[in-house]
Amino acid sequence: MSELQDAAEAALRTIGVNVDETTPIRSVPSPLTEELLAPAPTTDRAGVEAAIERATSAFPAWADLPAPARGAVVRRFGDLLREHKDTLADLITLEVGKIASEARGEIQEMIDVCDLAVGLSRQVGGLTLPSERPGHQLLENWNPLGPIAVISAFNFPAAVWSWNTAIALICGDTVVWKPSERTPLISLAGSALLDRALDEAGHPDVHQLVLTADPEDAAPLLDDDRIRLVSATGSTRMGEHVGPRVQRRFGRVLLELGGNNAAIITPSADLDLAVRGSVFAAAGTAGQRCTTLRRLIVHRSLADEMTDRIGSAYEQLAVGNPWRNDDVHVGPLIDESAYDNMRDALDRAETSGGQRVTGGERVTVGPGGCYVTPAIVGMSKQTDLVREETFAPLLWVLPYDDLDEAIAIHNDVPQGLASSIFTRDVREAGRFTGPLGSDCGIVNVNVGPSGAEVGGAFGGEKATGGGRETGSDAWKAYMRRATTTINHSDELPLAQGVEF
């Protein structure tokens, strides 16, 4: 057994995961070395249908439980996450290749969203509105939606699930989770902890994990009328398939899809901040965040200086295997196909006038794993290639002459997730955050586009799908609003003065 397989099995044992070996099992390779990790069970289509049935049966009792009591279960789940933070982070490093600090950050984000959900469990509520009719009350009631499905991507294998699940649970929904095929182990571990909290509360079937080996096996989640909401995170291509299919049966969708995030660097910017913010946002997580900085739109007078400074910072970054090595900044790409896409984008850039400044080289770390230096490419203008999301550490530098042009370049992509401007000019900041500025769901000033807090609503516009998750009023997506009129008079006046 390899060291990594050993580590994965030890982590599962610590969490208390029992792999049911009577079901078909499969092992996924670690991006660190391409060695196979511990085996995990798989769920076929019949298993997905059975999970929907269980989540449906569990719904009435869960929906009937007072929201603060549901919050207490989520609080217990958050405590279990705290207790097992490092073990869970290990599984993320093993399955996704994140450096330890970012893997722990992902678990911290899960703990944060549990805290948020516990608070919300005493807060979610509607309005009391003035009725036009005497002796009448006009109210908004928020009710649980029903069983929902959560489909999540490989790059945030646990946090995205918890963003949806912690909030959905306090809202009274039951959840069927289909994680990425690449991350069964962290999914088993996270589910085991939530299941423990739910079992202790006497609601064992409220959460269901389905580990399909093929996304097509998850089709019942899209097609079954009992699933009232499908919250799907992943590529825009996946959303193009999932969105219309669920909407065809009038199911709700919450889509969190690809981004093509930019930062505008203006002449008034604090360049030290801009360089630091850009390096983390572009090269961190090996460029595999939905919010990764992919386009740097720089005032022409600063383009060379910014490119040089980011290039020099890149030279200081250690690319390597982050397993038990905290000196590494940039871990592996998820697999060879991710590198093929990056390589292809670099080749296409060269034939369309792009100037490769640095990076894009393979780094040999061991016998396996796909390690690459973060790349910077100068482009004289934004092309269709730049408008695509290349899910790798590839930063395009685009010069601009005035802010209107910068904002036009910024918005001229299909996606609309995260954005930022580095400026010390309040007029530029106001323009960027105002109605004709950035068209994204996340709009930052003097902060890079990546690394959101759970307190705000997270999500993006256009081909990013329009969904919002975690903070603010994102909980509304997981509930059904009932506008309620109560007549406590002895008369029956009709609205708009209608006589009948």
Residues recognised as catalytic: 256, 290
Q: Considering only CA atoms, which of 232, 156, 123, 60 is closest in space to residue 476?
A: 123
The two structure tokens encoding residue 156: 């945030």
* Interface positions, 299-318, toward ligand NAD (CB under 6 A): none
Q: Does 478 bind ligand NAD (CB under 6 A)?
A: no
Determine if 382 is a binding residue for ligand NAD (CB under 6 A).
no
Q: Is 177 among the residues that bind ligand NAD (CB under 6 A)?
A: no
The distance from CA 107 to its chain's CA centroid, rounded to whole angstroms, is: 13
Nearer to ligand NAD, 236 or 266 (CB): 236
**Smallest gap, in angstroms, from Cβ of residue 217 to ligand NAD?**
9
Report in angstroms how near the CB of residue 24 gets to ligand NAD at its nearest. 17
CA distances from 374 to 132, 195, 338, 430 (A): 62, 40, 13, 32
162 close to 114: Cβ distance less than 8 angstroms: yes
Q: Which is nearer to ligand NAD, 142 or 177 (CB)?
A: 177
**Is residue 95 within the footprint of ligand NAD (CB under 6 A)?**
no
Task: Choose between 55 and 65: whose C-beta lies nearer to ligand NAD.
Answer: 55
Give the C-alpha separation, 448 to 452, whole Å.
10
> What is the rounded distance in angstroms from the CA atom of residue 265 to the CA atom of residue 449?
13
Residue list 244-273, contact with ligand NAD (CB under 6 A): 256-259
| 327 vs 416: CA distance, rounded Å | 34
Cβ proximity to ligand NAD: between 64 and 216 the closer is: 216
Least spacing, CB of residue 97 vs ligand NAD, in Å = 13
Helices 67-83 and 159-171, axial angle in degrees (round to 10): 160
Choose which of 77, 156, 396, 432 interacts with ligand NAD (CB under 6 A).
156
Binds ligand NAD (CB under 6 A): choice among 464, 475, 478, 479: 464
Size of interface with ligand NAD, in residues (CB under 6 A): 29
Q: Contacting ligand NAD (CB under 6 A), which of 74, 153, 198, 479? A: 153
Closest separation between CB of residue 128 and ligand NAD, Å?
Answer: 34
Contact at 8 Å (CB) between 308 and 298? no
Q: Could you say whether residue 47 binds ligand NAD (CB under 6 A)?
A: no
Contact between 14 and ligand NAD per CB under 6 A: no
Residue from the set 162, 174, 187, 233 that interacts with ligand NAD by CB under 6 A:
233
Q: Give yes or no for a contact between 51 and 176, defined as CB atoms under 8 angstroms apart.
A: yes
- Compute the least distance from the CB of residue 467 to ligand NAD, in Å: 8
DSSP 497: G
> CA 431 → CA 220, 409, 438, distances in Å?
46, 15, 9
Task: State which of residues 44, 181, 335, 461 lies at the interface with ligand NAD (CB under 6 A).
Answer: 181
Binding ligand NAD (rule: CB under 6 A), the pick from 235, 341, 383, 411 is 235
Cα gap 384→396, rounded to integer Å: 12
Length of the chain measured in residues = 500
Q: How far is the CB of 295 from ligand NAD (least distance, A)?
A: 14
Q: How many CB atoms lie within 10 A of CB 419?
A: 30
Is residue 209 within 8 Å of 55, Cβ to Cβ?
Answer: no
Q: Smallest gap, in angstroms, from Cβ of residue 156 to ligand NAD? A: 5
Q: Hey, is 414 helix, strand or coil? A: coil
Q: Which of 74, 158, 166, 238 binds ligand NAD (CB under 6 A)?
A: 238
Query: In sequence order, what are the residues at sequence separation of 6 or more whose Cβ sits closer than 8 angstroms to the Cβ of residue 168?
Result: 148, 150, 175, 231, 478
Question: And the tokens for 76?
Answer: 């217990």
Position of minimal CB gap to ligand NAD? 234
Alpha helices in 335-485 (DSSP H): 336-351, 384-387, 403-411, 426-433
Residues in contact with ligand NAD by CB under 6 A are 151-156, 160, 178-181, 215, 218, 233-235, 238, 241-242, 256-259, 290, 389, 391, 417, 460, 464
